[in-house]
Amino acid sequence: MAFRHSAWLIFWSILWSHIHYAVAELDPIVVKGSYFFYRTNGTQFHVRGISYKDGLTQTASKSPVDTLANGAACKRDIPFLLQLRVNVVRVSNIDVSKDHKECLDAFADAGIYIMAEMRSPTQWMEPKPEWTRWDVPLFQQYISVAEQLSNFTNVLGFVLGDTGDRAENSPGLPFFKAAIRDIREHVKQKNMREVPIGWVLGSPFLALKTTEQLDYMTCEEPRVNFLAVGLREVDDNGCTRDLRINETTSIYKNTPVPAFLYDHGCVNRNATGDLRKFGQISRLYSQDVASVLSGGILQTYFRKAEFDDSFGLVNVNNGIIEPVPGFEALSSAMATANPTPSNSAEYNPLVTFASCPTSAPNSKWKTGSKLPPKPHPRLCSCMMESLKCVAKESAMRSVGHSQYQTMVSSLCTNPLSDDCIGIQRDGGLGEYGAFSVCNMTESWSWLANRHTLRSGDQSCNLNNTVSLRPAPPAPGPECSFLLQQAGLNGEKAVTATFTGSSATGSPSNASGGSSGSGNSGGSSSSLSAGAKAGIAIGALGGVALILGAMLIVLRRRKNALKQKTPISEAPSSSDDPSALPPVYYRYDISEAHGSDPGVKGVRHGTQELHSSWGPHMMGDNTFVAELPAGGGSKNASVTRLSPAEIDGEGAMRSKYGEGVVGNATTGSELSPVQVSPSEENGDLTTTRKEEK
């Protein structure tokens, strides 16, 4: 057996040595209906995963390890992971201050995808509703993970967290939905790849006997892209029971998003030998189960030496991997995990999203219809700058969730009172104060300051957790703007961002720190000759780009003047002193490329129009009729006309011809219209989206 294992390891090591120098860009995995698919060839993707996290045996420290930050260890482990025939590794405790590229590239070379939990050792979404929060530190951790990992095509998905298996935990679910909303918004703003976002549903066979959690997380947007089902229960032989897999399949047969097992496996309970066979693998990847569940992620690659019972498959001694006997058993079992995949082109999902469950008077299910606000880092710092009784950071470092709840309860017998509503966060009621997004130290400072204002400066102690400081100065323009929105008691929602000259950035740009080298100062004399030359070349390049853009605009303008329809110029205020002040309109359009109806793809653009312009050619060669003088209503519709016949001849049908292909609005609220060639007859068709 030892010879057989060594032979296999030599085979995988040789294979890996031939491929690891050419960094691969794996085909991204996409979601369609209830399945994962390879984006390019459309083949269904089944998760054959293993947990590759913690790894306490790798260091002398007992603190969690960011296994995705150790390039040498990743490369060391890849031949063993390939021998196990896994295609996904689950990682956690991501330290955003470290570089993960070496591991990600190495896994991509090996054809292995990443399921990344967004938590860190100090920041994670708690399952207990009284602890659950969506605040600035969590927001910064999660968007930083997204920024680091999203553009690696072998990142399969992001996992938010686990709400456990209790219906009583339902008030915490709105915080998970808010996290999905804000992460997706940040990804779009940063133009990053949109990685599927999922969530772990606790075992459906313990306290939770309903599908309310499933329905809530997959009902209206923001909804999850996939579900990971915690299935930690094992049978007398120490393995996940086939019966539980069958029951899970029955529960999730109509799930509108992909679902797969999380944490299944076999635990070694034999003190003298490892007798695990991993019999559940054949059932999990059988055709009838695989038509519902998209595979699973096993517990776990690393064996935790401090536990007698262990799911692990390898020991790490002085950096050397030593597989235990169960390793080869799993490798043999995984060799049979080959369900026949479907194809995306042939798969037409009949997806039905459930209605969001509602709270009943005597039900344990409690979720409010309102989601928590988006964390706003500057709001919290402005609030702190306005206080004179503030928390001691040294005292708050040792305060856990339970102790903090006790501290708050001592001052807030009524959470909705004037003193307390500013930090109130209740997912069951849908009640959230403006400062509910602030961290524990900031929230306690707000509450202590309110207590001090009511009871006098001598009360600013609260078991030595807070201290008095000089009265703060008047807030600046940005802080005044934000704090006025929050309201005197922090009872209002802050939705607008300060745009004045003193603004430091919107919450969507906050990522928890700068990425500079550390030298923010210095005079120009410190620049080297090479640096100065580089700056000059860069400046010349910028001028060249600007001149090129101007030539393109002039050529487009010249072509526009050749059209039969006259194009009016914007009047000059110097030529017409009585001209109305400029009012601009914006449009957003998606339209088919080219004049051939068979051409696929879309084009997007925005352009501003002066309110006094008449028929005007847009940048995409469509026409706009006369705009309403003086601006009209906020969402005044503006007809846009197609300049070309769909047969490609390029002539306008008439000045006010057929085909309304756009809708313009003022300000930042857009009402886009999608335009696409009909596959049946090639006509230009329009589809109007619901206005925001």
**Structural domains of the chain, with CATH:** 46-342 (3.20.20.80), 377-509 (1.20.58.1040), 579-692 (no CATH)
Per-residue pLDDT tens for 55-67? 554 445 567 889 9
Provide the residue type at 315 as one letter: N
pLDDT reported for residue 232:
79
Annotate 297-310 with b (16+ C-beta within 10 A) or e (fewer).
bbbbbbbbeeeeeb
Mean pLDDT (whole number) for 524-541: 43
Q: Which residue has the higher pLDDT, 95 or 591?
A: 95
CA distance 288 to 677: 39
In this structure, how many other beta carbons lie within 10 angstroms of the beta carbon of residue 475?
Answer: 16
Mean pLDDT (whole number) for 413-433: 93
- Estimate to the nearest angstrom the gap between the alpha carbon of 498 and the chain centroid: 25
Q: Which residue has the higher pLDDT, 452 or 685?
A: 452
Instruction: List, in sequence order, every beta strand (DSSP E) within 59-210.
Output: 88-91, 113-117, 155-162, 197-201
pLDDT reported for residue 549:
57
Closest by CA position to 57, among listed 81, 72, 73: 73
The structure tokens listed for 163 are 């709400």
Q: Report whether 471 contacts 463 (CB < 8 A).
A: no
- Residue 7 phi/psi, 5-degree rounding, is -65, -45
pLDDT reported for residue 544:
55
Q: Report whether 287 contacts 257 (CB < 8 A).
A: no
Q: What is the dihedral of CA 288, 292, 295, 298, to 10 degrees?
A: -100
Q: Which residue has the higher pLDDT, 357 or 159?
A: 159
The structure tokens listed for 459 are 């009360």
Per-residue pLDDT tens for 541-568? 554 556 555 555 555 554 444 443 333 3
Instruction: List, in sequence order, every beta strand (DSSP E) within 248-394.
Output: 259-265, 295-299, 314-317, 320-323, 389-391
Compute the half-sphere exposure of residue 169: CA atoms within 13 Å on the CB side of its CA: 21
pLDDT confidence tier of residue 210, bands split at 50, 70 and 90: low
Mean pLDDT (whole number) for 459-477: 95
The answer to whether the pTM exceeds 0.75 is no
Alpha-carbon distances of 462 from 412, 416, 447, 451, rounded to whole Å: 14, 21, 11, 10
Q: Which residue has the tokens 């080298």?
A: 517
Q: Which residue has the tokens 């997380």?
A: 217
pLDDT reported for residue 305:
59
Q: Report whether 39 contacts 27 (CB < 8 A).
A: yes
Computed over every residue of the chain, the mean pLDDT equals: 74
Q: CA 208, 210, 216: angle at the middle one, nearest 5?
A: 100
Q: Which of 244-258, 374-388, 398-412, 667-681 has the highest mean pLDDT?
A: 374-388
Percent of the chain with pLDDT over 90: 49
Mean pLDDT (whole number) for 270-293: 91
pLDDT reported for residue 83:
98
CA distance 102 to 234: 36
Q: Could you check whether the bond before residue 300 is cis, i.e. omega within 30 degrees of 0?
A: yes
Annotate 552-563 with b (16+ C-beta within 10 A) or e (fewer).
eeeeeeeebeeb
Per-residue pLDDT tens for 344-386? 999 999 888 888 888 777 777 888 889 999 999 999 999 999 9
pLDDT confidence tier of residue 205, bands split at 50, 70 and 90: low
CA distance 377 to 391: 18
Compute the half-sphere exposure of residue 456: CA atoms within 13 Å on the CB side of its CA: 1
pLDDT reported for residue 542:
55
Would you call 289 helix, strand, or coil by DSSP?
A: helix
Long-range contacts of 552-557 (CB under 8 A, 24+ apart): 556/619
pLDDT reported for residue 362:
74
Q: Which of 384-398, 406-420, 668-682 has the lowest mean pLDDT?
A: 668-682
Alpha-carbon distances of 421 from 135, 245, 379, 487, 532, rounded to whole Å: 16, 45, 16, 11, 55
Closest by CA position to 229, among listed 178, 182, 141, 292: 292
CA distance 424 to 417: 10
The structure tokens listed for 124 are 């994670």
Per-residue pLDDT tens for 495-528? 888 887 544 444 433 333 333 333 333 333 333 4
Q: Could you check whether the bond before residue 507 is cis, i.e. omega within 30 degrees of 0?
A: no
Closest by CA position to 111, among listed 193, 48, 44, 42: 48
Per-residue pLDDT tens for 114-126? 999 998 877 777 6
Annotate 231-264 with b (16+ C-beta within 10 A) or e (fewer).
bbebeeebbbbbebbeebbebbeebbbbbbbbbb
pLDDT reported for residue 401:
84
Instruction: List, in sequence order, every beta strand (DSSP E) within 539-597.
Output: 584-587, 589-592
User: How would you class 283 by CB atoms within 10 Å of its CB: exposed for 0-12, middle for 13-18, buried for 19 or more?
Assistant: middle
CA distance 660 to 587: 13
Q: Which residue has the higher pLDDT, 408 or 609?
A: 408
Closest by CA position to 94, among listed 150, 48, 31, 135: 150
pLDDT reported for residue 546:
60
**Would the pLDDT of 594 be above 60?**
no
- Estimate to the nearest angstrom the gap between the alpha carbon of 473 and the chain centroid: 38
**Would the pLDDT of 658 be above 80?**
no
pLDDT reported for residue 271:
59
Would you call 8 helix, strand, or coil by DSSP?
A: helix
Percent of the chain with pLDDT over 70: 63
Alpha-carbon distances of 5 from 8, 327, 524, rounded to whole Å: 5, 10, 63
pLDDT confidence tier of residue 618, bands split at 50, 70 and 90: very low
Instruction: List, in sequence order, every beta strand (DSSP E) within 541-668.
Output: 584-587, 589-592, 602-605, 608-610, 616-617, 623-624, 640-641, 664-665
pLDDT reported for residue 515:
34
pLDDT reported for residue 67:
94
pLDDT confidence tier of residue 127, bands split at 50, 70 and 90: low
- Residue 262 phi/psi, 5-degree rounding, is -125, 125
Alpha-carbon distances of 209 from 168, 205, 212, 213, 256, rounded to whole Å: 12, 7, 9, 10, 19
Q: Which residue has the higher pLDDT, 204 or 417?
A: 417
CA distance 193 to 156: 11
**Would the pLDDT of 334 be above 80?**
yes
pLDDT reported for residue 532:
40
Q: What is the dihedral of CA 474, 477, 483, 485, to 10 degrees?
A: 150
Mean pLDDT (whole number) for 291-320: 86
pLDDT confidence tier of residue 642, bands split at 50, 70 and 90: very low
In this structure, how many other beta carbons lie within 10 angstroms of the beta carbon of residue 73?
Answer: 19
**Would the pLDDT of 173 be above 80?**
yes
Q: Report whether 502 contacts 476 (CB < 8 A).
A: yes
Query: Count of residues for the chain?
Result: 692
